[in-house]
Amino acid sequence: MSALLTEPFLVSLLFGAVTAGLPLLLAGLGEQISEKAGVLNIGLEGMMLVGAYTGFVATYHTGSFWLGFLAGGAGGMCAALIVLLLCIRSGLNQIVIGIAITVGAEGLTSLLHFVQFSRSYPRLAAAPALALPGLSNLPILGKGLFSHNPLVYLTVILVGALTWVFRSTYLGLSLEAAGNKPAALDAAGVDVVRTRSIAVLCTGFLAGLGGAYMANVGAGIFVPFITGGAGVIGIVLAMLARGRPLMVMVGAALFGASLAMTTALQVAGIDVPTDVVQMLPFAVVMAVLVLFGRHSMLPPALGTPYVRGER
């Protein structure tokens, strides 16, 4: 066991947990905004994948990581535009269109990767990291938690900002109403379709940003199916968090840590099938659900299109 408590092991575990957890956090926060507004985004995985591709291409061609993040967010928003047009405006089934987005993004990005990169598999240079003054000098924690890409710190700020938006702003109230009782929101003079559209575009941006981080910072390369189920975990996190951004962060940390544990154990030379560790977070969440099984408190209007005057 002593191999587990050495400094390099703990640093790589913490650092890996943040790197693996951040895309989950971004996607989970994005999904949370949509779900609050009553839109179920099953296409989250596809939005991340599009963002990972566009983000990688932008950074590969310009060399700028910030442009890459922006392009990733924009790519995710483009995928979200399909939800906006077909589900929110036209009332088509959100699960069908969501699956179409994921399947289509998997196919399209793989196809584009094949055409552009399949011979060269280009890699990016290491992403810039910002060591927070003071904090980064702490033993273990400094290197593990406070020497990351600036996007990590911005995302933590975003968690706080979203909590504030949900709790104390007019927009947060509108989002909540759009998911709970859209007719009431409509009666109050706020456009339900517009509110939900804003929510879905935010989701696309954050999911795309998460995907871009995954490709550019986490992996340094884009490969087909790079998101590998991160979007699905994002949906799970958002549903479990019951509308609280902080809980998404706790969940993302848990899942990120277990993903990092698999590589960290290999670094420490301990031979456990990675599958055992990967099961842990899901097993923990299922156990919590069984033991404390409370109602999951999803917005009543989740997944149903709003048609004015229809009951």
Smallest separation (angstroms) from another protein to the CB of 254: 13
> Which one, 187 or 276, has the nearer CB to another protein?
276
- Bridge partners (DSSP) of residue 147 are 131
Smallest separation (angstroms) from another protein to the CB of 85: 10
Using CB under 8 A as the binding criterion, the count of chain residues that bind another protein stands at 48
Residue 276 as a binder of another protein (CB under 8 A): the answer is yes
- Tokens 């659900």: give the residue: 289
CA distance 129 to 269: 28
Smallest separation (angstroms) from another protein to the CB of 197: 17
Binding residue for another protein, selected from 235, 249, 260, 264, defined by CB under 8 A: 235
Residue 107 as a binder of another protein (CB under 8 A): the answer is yes
> Which one, 89 or 167, has the nearer CB to another protein?
89
> Which one, 151 or 239, has the nearer CB to another protein?
239
Residue 127 as a binder of another protein (CB under 8 A): the answer is no
> Which one, 5 or 275, has the nearer CB to another protein?
275
The token pair at 157 is 């700020």
Residue 223 as a binder of another protein (CB under 8 A): the answer is no
Q: Give Rg (Cα) of the chain.
A: 20
Smallest separation (angstroms) from another protein to the CB of 251: 11
Binding residue for another protein, selected from 62, 64, 283, 308, defined by CB under 8 A: 283
Residue 119 as a binder of another protein (CB under 8 A): the answer is no
Footprint of another protein on residues 73-92 (CB under 8 A)? 82, 86, 90-92
Binding residue for another protein, selected from 104, 142, 150, 172, defined by CB under 8 A: 104
DSSP codes of every residue in 139-203: TTHHHHHSEE-HHHHHHHHHHHHHHHHHHHSHHHHHHHHHHH-HHHHHHTT--HHHHHHHHHHHH
Distances from the Cα of 164 to the Cα of 28, 140, 213, 269, angstroms: 17, 31, 25, 44
- Tokens 């566009």: give the residue: 54
Residues 40 and 95 sit within 8 Å (Cβ to Cβ): yes
- Tokens 């909540």: give the residue: 176
- Bridge partners (DSSP) of residue 130 are 148
The token pair at 246 is 């902080």
- Bridge partners (DSSP) of residue 131 are 147
Residue 95 as a binder of another protein (CB under 8 A): the answer is yes
Residue 97 as a binder of another protein (CB under 8 A): the answer is yes
Smallest CA-to-CA distance from 176 within 26, 7, 33, 49 is with: 33
Smallest separation (angstroms) from another protein to the CB of 111: 6
Region near another protein per CB under 8 A, out of 47-55, 134-142, 174-182, 236-244: 236-244
Binding residue for another protein, selected from 66, 114, 121, 164, defined by CB under 8 A: 114
Smallest CA-to-CA distance from 5 within 276, 260, 268 is with: 268
- Number of Cβ within 10 Å of residue 6's Cβ equals 12
Residue 153 as a binder of another protein (CB under 8 A): the answer is no
Region near another protein per CB under 8 A, out of 16-24, 159-167, 197-205, 289-297: 289-297
Residues 21 and 255 sit within 8 Å (Cβ to Cβ): yes
Residue 275 as a binder of another protein (CB under 8 A): the answer is yes
CA distance 223 to 82: 24
Residues of this chain that interact with another protein (CB under 8 A) are: 40, 82, 86, 90-93, 95-97, 99-108, 110-111, 114-115, 224, 229, 232-233, 235-236, 239-240, 273, 275-276, 278-279, 282-283, 285-286, 289-290, 293-296, 298
